[in-house]
Amino acid sequence: MNPHDFKIPADRLPELLCAMPKAELHMHIEGSLEPELIFALAQRNGVVIPYASVEELRQAYAFTNLQSFLDIYYAGASVLLHEQDFYDMAWAYLERAAADNVLRTEMFFDPQTHTARGVDVKVVIDGLHRACVDAEAKLGVSAALILCFLRHLSEEEAFETLEQALPYRDKFIGVGLDSSEVGHPPEKFAKVFARCRELGLHLVAHAGEEGPPAYVWSALDVLQVERIDHGVQSAKDPALMARLAKERIPLTVCPLSNLKLCVFPDLKEHNLGTLLDAGLAATVNSDDPAYFGGYMNENFLQTFAATGLTAQHAWQLAANSFEGSFIDDAAKARYIERLNETFARFAAA
Catalytic residue annotation: 209
Compute the least distance from the CB of residue 72 to ligand HPA, in Å: 11
Compute the least distance from the CB of residue 272 to Zn ion, in Å: 16
Q: Which is nearer to ligand HPA, 4 or 206 (CB)?
A: 206
35 interacts with, out of Zn ion, ligand HPA, none, CB within 5 to 8 A per kind: none
CA distance 189 to 325: 23
Phi-psi bin for 294: left (phi > 0), alpha (psi -120 to 50), beta?
A: left
66 interacts with, out of Zn ion, ligand HPA, none, CB within 5 to 8 A per kind: ligand HPA
Please identify, among the stretches 49-57, 139-147, 164-172, 285-293, the one whose residues bind Zn ion according to the rule CB under 5 A. Answer: 285-293
CB 249 within 8 A of CB 281: yes
Distance of alpha carbon 104 from the chain centroid: 12
**Total residues at interface with Zn ion (CB under 5 A):** 1
CB neighbours (10 Å) of residue 155? 16
Q: Which is nearer to ligand HPA, 258 or 342 (CB)?
A: 258
CA distance 214 to 98: 36
User: In this structure, what is the dihedral angle of CA atoms 208, 212, 218, 220, given to the nearest 10 degrees?
Assistant: 30
Q: Which is nearer to ligand HPA, 148 or 220 (CB)?
A: 148
Query: Of these, 287, 314, 340, 342, which contacts Zn ion (CB under 5 A)?
Result: 287
Q: How far is CA 314 from CA 57, 223, 241, 318, in A?
A: 34, 30, 21, 6
CA distance 192 to 157: 10
179 interacts with, out of ligand HPA, Zn ion, none, CB within 5 to 8 A per kind: ligand HPA
Residues contributing to the site for ligand HPA (CB under 6 A): 28, 31, 66, 73, 178-179, 206, 209, 257, 287-288
CA distance 259 to 182: 18
Compute the least distance from the CB of residue 26 to ligand HPA, in Å: 8
What is the distance between the terminal CA atoms of the chain, rounded to a whole angstrom? 20
209 interacts with, out of Zn ion, ligand HPA, none, CB within 5 to 8 A per kind: ligand HPA
Give residues in contact with Zn ion (CB under 5 A). Answer: 287
